[in-house]
Amino acid sequence: METHPSATAATPVIPGFHPDPSVCRVGEDYYLVCSSFEYFPGIPVFHSRDLVNWTQIGNALDRPGQLDLPVDTPSSGGIYAPTLRHHDGRFWLAVFNVAPGGGTLLFTTTDPAGPWSDPVRVPGVTGIDPDLVWDEDGTCWCTTAGIAQVRIDPRTGETLGTPHPVWSGTPGTAAPEGPHLYRIGDYWYLMISEGGTERGHGVSIARGPSPAGPFEPCPANPILTHRSTDRPVQNTGHADLVQAADGSWWMVLLGVRPQGGTPGWHILGRETFLAPVTWEDGWPVVGEVGGELPRSPGLEVPAPAAGGRDDFEPGGLAPYWISLRDRPAECVTTKERDSWLTLRARGGSLDEPDVIFVGRRQQHLAFQARSLVDPSEGRGGLAVRLDERHHYSVEAGPDGRITVIARIGSLRSVAAELTLPTQLLVLTVRTGPAPEPHDSRTGPDSLVFGIETADGTVNELASLDGRYLSTEVAGGFTGRVVGLYAAAGTVHADWFEYLPISG
Ligand code: 6LW
């Protein structure tokens, strides 16, 4: 594969909340999956021919029975870091569901676009971040955060023995997790993340003669970290390795792009980046994150993620639309009104865990979104959501009252209010510059909510400080999601448009 120096070293290959990437190659095709937490469907699946341009081809967990996220599954609980592997003609996916009744789950398919199998439960594996690898004898090894390891039968979920500790990274370093085990050349390599998924994050590796070790750490550990640097991409870690069809090696990893002053706020969640890997003395050496990127003949790189307009055709929502915990057909449908999305309220406002909300990830540092809604049968609107306790929205209802609502922690406030005769309305949100102060405390951005009148004039109602919809404020593992919700009655949307402004 050709490589070319990129001027956009801070550009993720899959922007927006797409953390914990796991990748595998079959011939010329690459497949990649990410964590999905409290959202349904779960585990977005991407395809690429060059490791740079990725297309979402589905979601592995797209039906009830595969993905059970009870209403008491907390935000940033649910589906944690998956591992995707291809073995013996099948794709395998291992995940841990951090939810009541959850645990380790395995799925398999011959087509990563789906459908994927029902889950096989592995009750004997209780750690997060399960990795799967098969040795020369066909034995399957499952390695989890901690780091612990046990042999399993992936078809039945039976554990063959009890999990036992293996190499757990650099002594004194927090949170050994995200293990992946590989047979490369004469060695078995155990690559893990350590330091926690925040600014101290890093990747370390060890090697040994068997999948169970004993493991000798790489003298150059951590092989990747951006801790204590001023690089634009921070929190780099939770990585997976893949060998390209031409023999070159690559790492996919998560990173964040903090904005504003100190301590820096990341608003898009943890994103997927790519870095080149070379080998020296039998150890991997990681190049610049986002630096030298591969290029397949005929493909321009790196292509920024597209925005676009959804017209809600009756076939259903595109795979990038995500809901909270489930998506009951009686509450979310494109079949009730021709080419409209209908949302029927169930749980009240965005403060409630069972609110009916569907959205797509904010994938650009600056964006705008618009939607034409009919609020004549219920109250609802356009929201930017981090979690139940951190969201902003513009909402309309049959009484003609339009409100901009800000929820920050335990505070809920109506930031702006306006009454208009009930009518079809275009609700709008866009990012803008951070509000004052413009000093070391400058936030990442602002979120400006408004309505558009029939002649296309935008009436901006409120501009809200974006820092409160960042992971540094809200906590957790996700990022901003922008979308539509119903708080009472039934709300219809004719179309929804998401457009990048920059980055
Ligand atoms: C994941 C862990 C991590 O399970 O964050 O960054 C956790 N790494 O490995 C949630 O994504």
Domain membership flag for residue 235? yes
384 in the same domain as 345: yes
In tens, the pLDDT along 274-302 reads 999 999 999 999 999 977 677 655 555 55
Q: Cβ contacts of residue 326 below 8 Å, gap of 6+?
A: 40, 64, 69
Phi, psi of 474 (to 5 degrees): -80, -25
367 in the same domain as 257: no
Question: What is the count of structural domains for the chain?
Answer: 2
Q: Which of 251, 286, 321 is the last residue of a domain?
A: 286
pLDDT score of 100 more than 70 = yes
Q: What range does the domain containing 362 cover?
A: 308-500
Report d(CA 177, CA 171) in Å as an integer.
Answer: 14
State yes or no: cis peptide before 267, omega within 30 of 0: no
Average model confidence (pLDDT) for the chain? 94
492 in the same domain as 343: yes
Nearest CA to ligand 1 atom 1: 81
Domain membership flag for residue 35? yes
Q: Relative to the CA of 178, which ligand 1 atom is closest?
A: 9
123 in the same domain as 70: yes
Q: Relative to the CA of 81, which ligand 1 atom is closest?
A: 4
Domain membership flag for residue 296? no
More reliable by pLDDT, 201 or 456:
201
Can you give the three-state secondary structure of 382-423, one letter per residue?
Answer: EEEEEECCEEEEEEECCCCEEEEEEEECCEEEEEEEEECCCC
Through-space distance between the first and last CA atoms of the chain, rounded to whole angstroms? 26
- What per-residue confidence (pLDDT) applies to 6? 47
The residue-averaged pLDDT of 458-478 equals 97
Total length of the chain = 503
Catalytic one of 129, 177, 310, 445 = 177
Nearest CA to ligand 1 atom 9: 178
C-alpha 190 to ligand 1 mean position (Å): 17
421 in the same domain as 468: yes
185 in the same domain as 56: yes
**Residue 49 near ligand 1, beta carbon < 6 Å:** no
Q: Relative to the CA of 128, which ligand 1 atom is closest?
A: 4
177 in the same domain as 317: no
Active site residue 20: yes
438 in the same domain as 314: yes
Domain membership flag for residue 141? yes
The residue-averaged pLDDT of 469-497 equals 98
**Residue 107 near ligand 1, beta carbon < 6 Å:** no
CATH of the domain at 12: 2.115.10.20
Domain membership flag for residue 292? no
C-alpha 223 to ligand 1 mean position (Å): 18
Domain membership flag for residue 257? yes
CA torsion through residues 263, 268, 270, 271, sign: negative
Active site residue 494: no
Q: What is the DSSP letter of 226?
A: -
Of all residues in the chain, the percent with pLDDT exceeding 70 is 95
Nearest CA to ligand 1 atom 10: 80
- What per-residue confidence (pLDDT) applies to 112? 98
Domain membership flag for residue 295? no
262 in the same domain as 318: no
pLDDT score of 502 more than 80 = no
pLDDT score of 421 more than 70 = yes
Contact 346, 353 (CB under 8 A): no
Q: Which of 252, 286, 320 is the last residue of a domain?
A: 286
Domain membership flag for residue 291? no
333 in the same domain as 231: no
Q: Which of 286, 318, 333 is the last residue of a domain?
A: 286
165 in the same domain as 32: yes
347 in the same domain as 212: no
CATH of the domain at 468: 2.60.120.200
**Residue 477 near ligand 1, beta carbon < 6 Å:** yes
pLDDT score of 210 more than 60 = yes
The residue-averaged pLDDT of 69-79 equals 96
Report d(CA 393, CA 385) in Å as an integer.
Answer: 8
